């Protein structure tokens, strides 16, 4: 064994001397100088090997395997680093090439548009006509191509001479409207909704311009907005939200300085169509919480808070030019009152949490199961002017004001929650109550059911931001207080949500 360790000592010393010598001369000698003293290693082995014995040879073999493993690991690591480097370089080159292709295609598109303009001008000159003397189809094509908003110009041409007036439906009530829509969805589309959900839907439309349909996938959220469009004889515009949306330009588009055109989105086109129509028009932001709503929809949330409807304007371009869309005034588009925005939201790990800012401005309907089929009367679609629908909402507010007794109980509940949970209802929610409850009653619901819905969806939903694991006693007190104020079992939605909090936290 002593001979082996003497060999090991001298071999290690010789090895590191050679390595140090190579580093010293690395810029002066070729790499072939590495291992020049391999013969010396062999001489050392020949000198001491005869005295190794069993254990000496055992440790020698073990050391050789270790050195081979270290060398193999270093070579493999170097291989991985080189491969990653080349992959990175390739990706960067691909990105650069893709960018060049996008620039080239954009430029070719610009040239194609210019060429199309020239062809149209040649056609006009060849025929000896002025643009106003072209046939209707060619004239409209010229206007659309020359406009900075080709999609919106196309809408202008579609509705130029269209009669969008809709006669009022005789003897229509909100309760009849709810029952008709429910029967239409069941008989025509095989979509089945509880009457309570339909009442909440129309009361929500009267209360807010943003309706959030949330819950688990496959429960009929998007289908509800789709069915509403079919019922009112004008298909809902369904706009898929993309995870990359970060600001308003993703939603409505942007002005391209290179092409001198506004890159209009389908959302902007759908919104512009509503400026010509007289019925209730539905625009659906499908999977709206794939991106942060308070980012890309922020301008709409703020604008729709203003009491003066004439201030509901969205800036599109800084200046007006000839050929711009008819309903774009001074570069601004007025959001029509007859449009209602729906947003569907799945609650899973792939989506963002909807913030209180959004919830407070919207009415949220939660779907937790599929509708159960039922026998429904045959019902056809209806054309109802938005003005008549608005009049029905206003009449309900006048006819079914909230009772003083119920408001006193709600005020007491407000103080109770402030004391126990340090949360307040807020003026926005109280204002929404004044519209939602009367319309809900006019749709066939009760005052208590309406308060239950608002309390569960507007107040109790805020509790999710609290540390409920330490508030179980307070939750039980609140549960008992609801029974004491309104009667046992009167607030089923609120009791169910409190029970869920007690189980899950």
DSSP for 161-214, please give it: S-----PPPTT--HHHHHHHHHHHHHHHH-----HHHHHHHHHHHHH-SEEEEE
Q: What is the pLDDT of residues 492-503, one digit of tens each?
A: 999 999 999 998
How confident is residue 129, by pLDDT bands cut at 50, 70 and 90? Answer: very low
Token pair in block for residue 331: 């570069």
Distance CA 460, CA 353 (A): 16
**Bridge partner residues of 283 (DSSP):** 237, 341
pLDDT score recorded for residue 121: 58
| pTM of structure | 0.72
Q: What is the pLDDT of residues 45-76, one digit of tens each?
A: 777 777 778 787 788 788 888 888 888 888 88
**What CATH fold (topology level) applies to the domain 149-388?**
Rossmann fold (3.40.50)
Distance CA 44, CA 170 (A): 112
Mean pLDDT taken over the chain: 85
pLDDT score recorded for residue 114: 64
List of residues 6+ apart from 437 with CB closer than 8 A: 203, 400, 402, 447, 450, 451, 454
Domain boundaries, the chain: 149-388, 400-505
Q: What is the pLDDT of residues 140-158, one digit of tens each?
A: 554 555 678 999 999 999 9
**Residue of higher predicted confidence among 8 and 174:** 174
Q: What is the CA radius of gyration of the chain?
A: 37
Distance CA 465, CA 359 (A): 13
In 224-269, DSSP assigns E strands to 237-240, 253-256, 261-264
pLDDT score recorded for residue 173: 96
């Amino acid at each position: 064994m002593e001979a082996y360790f003497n060999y090991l000592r001298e071999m290690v010393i010789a090895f590191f001397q050679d390595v140090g010598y190579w580093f010293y001369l690395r810029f002066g000698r070729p790499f072939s100088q590495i291992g020049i003293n391999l013969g010396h290693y062999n001489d050392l082995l020949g000198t001491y090997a005869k005295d190794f014995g069993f254990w000496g040879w055992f440790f020698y073999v073990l050391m050789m395997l270790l050195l081979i493993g270290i060398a193999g690991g270093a070579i493999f690591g170097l291989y991985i680093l080189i491969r990653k480097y080349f992959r990175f370089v390739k990706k960067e080159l691909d990105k650069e090439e893709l960018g060049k292709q996008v620039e080239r295609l954009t430029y070719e598109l610009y040239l194609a548009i210019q060429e199309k303009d020239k062809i149209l001008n040649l056609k006009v000159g060849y025929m000896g006509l002025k643009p106003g003397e072209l046939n209707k189809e060619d004239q409209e094509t010229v206007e659309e191509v020359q406009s900075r908003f080709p999609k919106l110009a196309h809408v202008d041409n579609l509705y130029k001479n269209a009669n969008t007036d809709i006669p009022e439906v005789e003897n229509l009530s909100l309760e009849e409207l709810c029952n008709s829509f429910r029967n239409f969805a069941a008989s025509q589309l095989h979509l089945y909704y509880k009457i309570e959900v339909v009442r909440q839907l129309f009361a929500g439309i009267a209360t807010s311009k943003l309706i959030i349909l949330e819950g688990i996938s496959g429960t009929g959220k998007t289908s509800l907005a789709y069915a509403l469009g079919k019922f009112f004889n004008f298909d809902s515009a369904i706009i898929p939200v993309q995870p990359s949306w970060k600001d308003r330009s993703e939603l409505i588009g942007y002005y391209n300085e290179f092409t001198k055109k506004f890159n209009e989105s389908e959302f902007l086109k759908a919104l512009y169509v509503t400026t010509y129509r007289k019925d209730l028009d539905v625009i659906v932001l499908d999977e709206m919480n794939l991106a942060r709503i308070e980012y890309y929809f922020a301008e709409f949330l703020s604008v729709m808070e203003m009491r003066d409807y004439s201030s509901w304007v969205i800036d599109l371009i800084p200046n007006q030019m000839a050929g711009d869309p008819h309903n774009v005034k001074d570069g601004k588009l007025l959001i029509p009152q007859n449009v209602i925005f729906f947003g569907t939201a799945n609650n899973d790990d792939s989506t963002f949490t909807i913030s209180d800012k959004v919830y407070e401005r919207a009415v949220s309907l939660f779907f937790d199961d599929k509708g159960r089929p039922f026998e429904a009367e045959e019902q056809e679609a209806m054309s109802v002017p938005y003005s008549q629908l608005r009049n029905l909402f206003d009449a309900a507010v006048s006819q079914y004001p909230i009772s003083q007794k119920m408001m006193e109980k709600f005020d007491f509940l407000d103080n109770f929650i402030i004391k126990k949970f340090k949360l307040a209802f807020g003026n926005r929610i109280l204002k929404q109550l004044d519209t939602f409850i009367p319309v809900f009653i006019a749709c066939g619901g009760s005052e208590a059911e309406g308060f239950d819905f608002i309390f569960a969806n507007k107040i109790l939903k805020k509790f999710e931001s609290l540390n409920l694991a330490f508030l179980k006693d307070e939750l039980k007190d609140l549960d008992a207080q609801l029974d004491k104020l309104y009667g046992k079992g009167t607030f089923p939605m609120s009791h169910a949500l409190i029970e869920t909090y007690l189980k899950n936290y």
